[in-house]
Structure formats: structure tokens, C-alpha cells
């Protein structure tokens, strides 16, 4: 089988950069608040001057929490057939961002709160004959 084409699940949210996988967001030059996805303006009510610049976040993070998606969710969620429970997490990144993401692991039960993770850009499903693979940001336990 020829290699499937990797299609981003959404445009402009993440990228493989020369330094590795990154989330694409913004940061306020005035108050340092990070935003993901990109924001046009700073939403911090205590910030004196909204002044946003592009920012890339990653790859390091720590699981603020984690859980398991145990039932096959409705569209547009993409997963391997037959459905197998997968892990999700809420990850604190050193840039001050707390971000949701799927956890890339074969053993969702082993994922722990406080665990170190690393940002990756990988397919949400690898099964099937489709010529396209939908890829998204995910976090891989270290």
C-alpha cells in the first residue's frame, strides 16, 4: 500500500517546524498571556494594551489531568475501527498554556496525572484503506 497522505485535522493550529512539532498560537507582548488557537486580541481584563504576536508552543508538557474516552463518540470525531478506548489529557505547558489533547498511547490506563508528555503530530486513526490520514496534535507520554 502506498503511503497515505497526511491531512491536518484543522488548518493553522499546528506545524512540524525545523525545531519539531509546535502548536501555533499567540502571545500578548504586554502581559505575556498565551493563546491557542491564535487570537486577534488579548482577553486579559488586567492587560493595559492588547498587543499580540504569533507564538509557537511545545514540545514539553505535564498532565494536569487525564481521562479515557470509553465510548465511540459521534462525528466528526475520528478513531480507529473497531473502536478502542483512547486517552485524553489536559496538559500544562511551560509557556503558561493549559491545552486539551489526545494522548498517544497503547495503554490508556497507564497514563497518570502529573506525567511528563511531549507534543507530537500524528494520525488520529491509522486503520482502513483510506488514501488520507487525518493528523492532529497529540501528547505522547515520556
- Name the residues that contact other proteins, by CB under 8 A: 9-11, 13, 25, 33-37, 43-45, 64-71, 73-79, 85-86, 88-90, 92, 96-102, 108-109, 113-114, 124, 136-137
Distances (CA, A) of 138 to 14, 89, 103, 129: 10, 9, 6, 22
Nearer to other proteins, 46 or 129 (CB): 46
Q: Least distance (Å) from other proteins to the CB of residue 83?
A: 11
Which helix (H) or strand (E) segment is 68 a member of?
strand 60-69
Q: Least distance (Å) from other proteins to the CB of residue 2?
A: 25
Burial string for 64-90 (b: 16+ CB within 10 Å, else e) reads eebeebeeeeeeeeebeeeeeebbbbb
Q: Least distance (Å) from other proteins to the CB of residue 13?
A: 7
Q: Least distance (Å) from other proteins to the CB of residue 84?
A: 12
Q: Integer distance in angstroms from the first to the last C-alpha of the chain?
A: 31
Nearer to other proteins, 52 or 92 (CB): 92
Amino acid at each position: 500500500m502506498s503511503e497515505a497522505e497526511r491531512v491536518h485535522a484543522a488548518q493553522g493550529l499546528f506545524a512540524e517546524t525545523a525545531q519539531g512539532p509546535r502548536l501555533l498560537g499567540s502571545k500578548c507582548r504586554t502581559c505575556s498571556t498565551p493563546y491557542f488557537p491564535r487570537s486577534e486580541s488579548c482577553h486579559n481584563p488586567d492587560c493595559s494594551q492588547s498587543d499580540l504576536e504569533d507564538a509557537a508552543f511545545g514540545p514539553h508538557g505535564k498532565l494536569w489531568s487525564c481521562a479515557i474516552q470509553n465510548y465511540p463518540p459521534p462525528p466528526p470525531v475520528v478513531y480507529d475501527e473497531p473502536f478502542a478506548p483512547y486517552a485524553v489529557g489536559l496538559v500544562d505547558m511551560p509557556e503558561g498554556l493549559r491545552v486539551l489533547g489526545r494522548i498517544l498511547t497503547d495503554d490508556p490506563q497507564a497514563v497518570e496525572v502529573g506525567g511528563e508528555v511531549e507534543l507530537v503530530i500524528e494520525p488520529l486513526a491509522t486503520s482502513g484503506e483510506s488514501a488520507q490520514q487525518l493528523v492532529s496534535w497529540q501528547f505522547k507520554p515520556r
